[in-house]
Amino acid sequence: MALTETAWLREIEQVGQRADLLSMFAQLFDDPGRINSEIERMRDVSPKDVAAFSEDFLGTNNRAVLTYVPADSGVVAGGSP
């Protein structure tokens, strides 16, 4: 959570970004003041919430496997490592 909070605070300290967020909150939620409560909303998400979301929406069959192969490894793209 500390990294998320730090990233959020760094994002809103930039004037242009803060203006964009205020505009977004005003347009989408009719509440530009929501910018002041976003950290609390983030803090309210528990590990159990994340697990429940992933179980409901990702399931066991909805996944992707990404294999990173460095360019100089000699493995052909799409091939087995």
pTM (whole model) above 0.85 = no
Residue 37 in any domain: the answer is: yes
Give per-residue pLDDT as tens, 51-67.
Answer: 888 888 877 777 777 78
SS3 state of residue 46: coil
| Lowest-pLDDT range of 4-13, 18-27, 38-47, 64-73 | 64-73
List, in order, residues 6 or more apart from 18 with CB less than 8 Å away: 12, 35
Residue 54 tokens read as 């992933």
Residue 12 in any domain: the answer is: yes
Residue 65 in any domain: the answer is: yes
Number of helical H runs and strand E runs in the chain:
4, 0
Residue 81 in any domain: the answer is: no
Residue 80 in any domain: the answer is: no
Whether 18 and 35 have beta carbons less than 8 Å apart is answered as yes
Residue 79 in any domain: the answer is: no
Residue 10 in any domain: the answer is: yes
The pLDDT assigned to 76 comes to 66
What residues make up the domain containing 27? 2-73
CA triple 11-41-63, angle to 5 deg: 85
Q: Which is higher by pLDDT, 14 or 74?
A: 14
Tally of structural domains, the chain: 1
Residue 66 in any domain: the answer is: yes
